[in-house]
Structure 1
């Protein structure tokens, strides 16, 4: 119910409240500053101000324009921020290994890692005041995880290295260039690349074999590249074609040279999924983490993500200059959302071992 959101002042007004509260308390944690399920948004803001900082993992400045959100949060609420970039699997491992001595507050992980984190009892639930506007498929029942944005697997091509950018998986397979897919054993983006290849070859969340068979062919051709598709490596021309989320590809393209790089959603099949925030059950700054999730789901936060080429999970009106940065809807005609998250959760657990035995074992 949207009225639930309106029972507290909107985030824009709350920003002013946050500034007004800037003199309240120190950054030290105290019993009065602990997180409570009964806290109103106003109380969360007040406690977050006292905590004074938020530590994230897997939410670097260059990914989906997180920098815009961190800058807004610091300006509005005075929260300083630090991030440690890592994969989804590494984020969960960090939460689990540190236990009650947790050093991270909030992380951003692929959708399959949200239920996994919940099952391991690593998460602090928080629904946000925008809960009812988030599709049912994009959240759990208690707020342990909920998607902030969606992405679609795409091809990023350096046209200095590749004469004709691939527009399909068939094109990619018939090429003579190297293909960077990332680390399928740990990275959510890379795992979805395998699923997208499976979807394009009559597979699905339960039937991942066609995707593995596809990459086995690339491995046998000696075309799988171990070079990470980072901005630095792309700038140096060390990546021919990278399989990435559309928002990453578009971001890299515009950061480096929009005329040099092209981004194509494969027209013979791709997959759309998303990323969810997870709040560490043992977060040192739990209220700052809750406030961060709250802001991410606000109109301003969703527009920030769109500025980073990610497609918001909520229906928000995007400024024209932001909407123009995204690919047109027609580019996504062959992309399908994950139909069976439970099946994909199980497949993604088995995928690292399958990748090692069915693909990397054949690499030249």
Structure 2
């Protein structure tokens, strides 16, 4: 194992998540599961952009491994709240608009469980998923994490900002955007908390309140652009600076391939890590295909697929300890120091932040992000 790998895999997700209670569904025979999934013939996903965590290649890998199962992709740009609403809206619908599986922000997993929107299932690699990164019953479990960063178009930005404090400077007028609607997008909701943490507030309610004040100031100064930032809007100059997860920023950098040139910066005043979780809809029209999808995602192949997309998979420690991560993948990863100083909010802190940000964005900031 390289020294870089060692540095990366020491990052702990301890204290991120609350534990579940009951014993959940156990993984069944993979051959039986595959046969049942192929009989269903389809898997319906939602909110999986192909440039997010390498999902394009991951989906193709799943289809190649399990021919005969088509993947129906719903609304790739949906936020976590939109995913839960799609489950609610399609409880009695067994058609193509009903999602089978979810990939949502940490706060949305327990919320979906409490509402009865997800069903338990334990993948065959269950024991190598850290206990503090999963519901003990298997209703949801961590899939990957990254840290909040800035994606900067250096054709348009002369002085690359290195902190949230920098973004308030007059030179960034009309430049700064979020990568989602902070009333629905987990990525944007946590960007607000990161901004609050940059001002010294503790993760949770305090950072949410301070983060809303920060974005109100950013908006009043004319620096905030109420447009959902993407690689395309960054390249066009609509949003020259986008606040987003580092893995999305790095993927956008690769996609743009120097046109325009960009830099990815982890802000010096707040290194916030964000965990996402996987779950199966309680109303999945294709429950066996959903379980097989989970098995693929949590296999070594699926986990390394996410890693190739710059996302640190939840089983990274296990992969690194067994020496199964290809060296070229390790070499392409961001610097280890990006993660060594990262703060992992607890589930209570993430929930507190979500409630304050979603409830207060319109009244405090007043910018309608679209």
* Match for residue 128 of structure 1 among 123, 130, 139: 123
- The residue that corresponds to 1:111 in the other structure is 106
Distance in 1 between residues matched to 2:265 and 2:27, nearest whole Å = 46
The answer to whether the Cα contact below 8 Å between 1:169 and 1:200 also exists between their aligned partners in 2 is yes
Secondary structure, aligned partner of 1:101: coil
- The residue that corresponds to 1:192 in the other structure is 190
| Deviation of 1:38 (Å) | 7.3
- The residue that corresponds to 2:350 in the other structure is 344
The answer to whether the Cα contact below 8 Å between 2:176 and 2:225 also exists between their aligned partners in 1 is yes
Distance in 2 between residues matched to 1:362 and 1:70, nearest whole Å = 33
List gaps (5 residues or longer) in structure 1: 1-35
- The residue that corresponds to 2:14 in the other structure is none
The answer to whether the Cα contact below 8 Å between 1:148 and 1:276 also exists between their aligned partners in 2 is yes
| Deviation of 1:248 (Å) | 0.2
- The residue that corresponds to 1:263 in the other structure is 264
- Structure 1 ranges of 4+ moved more than 3 A: 36-39
Q: Equivalent residues in 2 for 1:236-275 (5 A)?
A: 236-258=236-258, 260-275=261-276
Report the TM-score when normalising by structure 1.
0.85
- The residue that corresponds to 2:53 in the other structure is 64
Q: Equivalent residues in 2 for 1:46-61 (5 A)?
A: 46-61=35-50
Report the TM-score when normalising by structure 2.
0.84
| Deviation of 1:328 (Å) | 0.5
Distance in 2 between residues matched to 1:52 and 1:195, nearest whole Å = 41
- The residue that corresponds to 1:222 in the other structure is 222
| Deviation of 1:296 (Å) | 0.7
Partner deviation per Cα, 1:42-81 (whole Å, 9 max, x = no partner)? 3211111111211100112221111112111111111211
The answer to whether the Cα contact below 8 Å between 2:226 and 2:368 also exists between their aligned partners in 1 is no
The answer to whether the Cα contact below 8 Å between 1:197 and 1:270 also exists between their aligned partners in 2 is no
Partner deviation per Cα, 1:182-228 (whole Å, 9 max, x = no partner)? 31001000001011112211221131222112111101101111222
Secondary structure, aligned partner of 1:232: helix
Moved more, 185-194 or 354-363: 354-363
Q: Kindly tell me the number of residue pairs found equivalent between the two proteins.
A: 327
Distance in 1 between residues matched to 2:340 and 2:150, nearest whole Å = 15
- The residue that corresponds to 1:87 in the other structure is 79
Secondary structure, aligned partner of 1:176: helix
| Deviation of 1:274 (Å) | 1.5
Distance in 2 between residues matched to 1:38 and 1:236, nearest whole Å = 47
Moved more, 131-140 or 89-98: 131-140
Distance in 2 between residues matched to 1:234 and 1:50, nearest whole Å = 44
* Match for residue 359 of structure 1 among 354, 357, 365: 365
1:164 aligns with 2:148: no
The alignment yields a C-alpha RMSD, in angstroms, of: 1.9
The answer to whether the Cα contact below 8 Å between 1:216 and 1:362 also exists between their aligned partners in 2 is no
| Deviation of 1:327 (Å) | 1.0
Considering only CA atoms, is the larger Rg found in Structure 1 or Structure 2? Answer: 1
List gaps (5 residues or longer) in structure 2: 1-24
Secondary structure, aligned partner of 1:224: coil
The structure-2 alpha-carbon separation of the partners of 1:175 and 1:331, relative to structure 1 and needing over 3 Å to count, comes to farther
